[in-house]
Amino acid sequence: AQSVTQLGSHVSVSEGALVLLRCNYSSSVPPYLFWYVQYPNQGLQLLLKYTTGATLVKGINGFEAEFKKSETSFHLTKPSAHMSDAAEYFCAVSSNTGNQFYFGTGTSLTVIP
Amino acid sequence: EPEVTQTPSHQVTQMGQEVILRCVPISNHLYFYWYRQILGQKVEFLVSFYNNEISEKSEIFDDQFSVERPDGSNFTLKIRSTKLEDSAMYFCASRLFGVVNTEAFFGQGTRLTVV
């Protein structure tokens, strides 16, 4: 079985500060991990994904995430927050059959001017 | 850029009525999904569909729910007799088949309000 835990349902950062959104996964097989972003009243947009290979993956809008197997983590970071980054962020893991995605509960990011 | 489209964007229905939510997946995708998100809660898996049949479904997807791909392009979710607790945002998604590590592409969602 697979699952995702996102620590912190709400994160606030100042504009220009580091963004760190936490995601830990549980998987009995090598996971495929994803971060999606949801802007208000919109659908889910892929930020980045980890499949195999390099453990540090770069995504859109300056975001990146590092797969750490020893810590079962896939935390999302951005060096400098921008006002436009305010959104809901979801971490997801793909099932070993590829049939479905398991989503975390989401983290709402607020950027303070 | 190809995208998943959903209609309507917002649907209001009376309790007990049937609703059909429509989705047009990306044309070369073969795996289709429905997810729902109750306001303020996590995105929940409902059902996945491949080769004209359900491949997996969650506990939420009971006999009141059904899915169909009637014409090779549309992918619909039907709720036979809506309940107040069905009020949520419903997302359709599609994915390439055969490559497990590809992402799902999501539509903008249909906000269903049951009154």
CB contact under 8 A, B43 and A45: no
Q: What are phi and psi of A69, to 5 degrees?
A: -65, -40
Structure confidence by residue, pLDDT tens digits, A23-77:
999 887 778 899 999 998 788 899 999 988 889 999 999 999 999 999 999 999 9
Find which of A34, A48, A57, A101 to mutate to test the B interface (most B CBs within 10 Å of its CB).
Answer: A101
- Tokens 């036979």 correspond to B80
Taking the C-alpha atoms of residue B34 and residue B78, their distance in angstroms, rounded to an integer, is: 11
Say which residues have a Cβ less than 8 Å from residue B98's Cβ, sequence separation at least 6: none
Question: Who among B4, B48, B91 is closest to A100 (CB)?
Answer: B48
Taking the C-alpha atoms of residue B100 and residue B96, their distance in angstroms, rounded to an integer, is: 8
- Tokens 């903008």 correspond to B108
Structure confidence by residue, pLDDT tens digits, A74-104:
999 999 999 999 999 999 988 656 677 788 9
Structure confidence by residue, pLDDT tens digits, B3-43:
999 999 999 999 999 999 999 999 888 889 999 999 878 88
Q: How far is A104 from chain B (nearest CA, A)?
A: 7
Question: Residue B99: its pLDDT value, please?
Answer: 60
